[in-house]
C-alpha cells in the first residue's frame, strides 16, 4: 500500500510573466529570483508551479518532494518509472534523449495531453545514455 510523505520543499520566486493558467507546469529560473514556464525541451527545470500568479506576484514552486504535474503522453506514452522533463510549453514529457534536463520520475502513467500525474522531483538531474 502506498503512503504519502509530507516532506516537500516549496520556494517563492517572482513570476516573470502571467502564469495564472499554468498551475502544475514546469518552471525554469530566468533571472534573479524570477521564474517562468519552460519553453524548450533542453531547459533546466527548477521545479513545478504550485499557484496561479500574475506577472510580478509570488510564484510558489515545488523544488523537492512529490508534485502534481501537467503531462503530455499523447505522442509517447509515459509509464510509471519513466524519466520526465519539460517540453516547450512547461508540460512533462518522457525523456529519452541524452543530456536533457530531467524533472523527475513519473509515479503515474500518462497517455493523454493535459493529464495531471505525480512526479518524484530530482533537482538538477540529467538523462544520460550508456557509453557506446
Structural domain includes residue 4: no
Q: State pTM to two decimals.
A: 0.91
Its domain, for residue 119, covers 66-125
Mean pLDDT of the chain: 91
Percent of the chain with pLDDT over 70: 90
Residue 129 predicted with pLDDT over 60:
no
Structural domain includes residue 2: no
The total of structural domains in the chain comes to 2
- Three-class SS string for the chain? CCCCCCCCEEEEEEECCCCCCCCCCEEEEEECCEEEECCCCCCCEEEEECCCCCCCCEEEEEEECEEEEEEECCCCCECCCCEEEECCCCCEEECCCCCEEEEEEECCCECCEEEEEEEEEEEEEEECCCCC
Percent of the chain with pLDDT over 90: 77
State the Cα angle at 61 between 58 and 82, rounded to 5°. Answer: 160
- Same-domain pairing of 48 and 71: no
pLDDT one-digit tens code per residue, 49-99: 999 999 999 999 999 999 999 999 998 999 999 999 999 999 999 988 777
Amino acid at each position: 500500500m502506498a503512503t504519502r510523505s509530507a516532506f516537500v520543499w516549496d520556494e517563492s520566486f517572482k513570476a516573470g510573466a502571467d502564469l495564472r493558467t499554468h498551475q502544475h507546469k514546469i518552471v525554469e529560473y530566468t533571472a534573479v529570483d524570477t521564474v517562468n514556464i519552460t519553453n524548450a525541451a533542453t531547459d533546466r527545470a527548477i521545479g513545478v508551479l504550485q499557484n496561479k500568479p500574475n506577472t510580478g506576484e509570488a510564484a510558489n514552486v515545488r523544488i523537492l518532494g512529490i508534485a502534481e504535474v501537467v503531462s503530455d503522453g499523447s505522442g509517447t506514452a509515459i509509464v510509471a518509472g519513466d524519466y520526465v522533463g519539460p517540453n516547450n510549453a512547461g508540460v512533462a514529457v518522457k525523456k529519452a534523449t541524452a543530456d536533457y534536463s530531467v524533472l523527475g520520475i513519473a509515479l503515474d502513467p500518462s497517455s493523454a495531453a493535459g493529464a495531471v500525474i505525480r512526479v518524484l522531483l530530482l533537482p538538477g538531474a540529467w538523462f544520460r545514455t550508456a557509453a557506446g
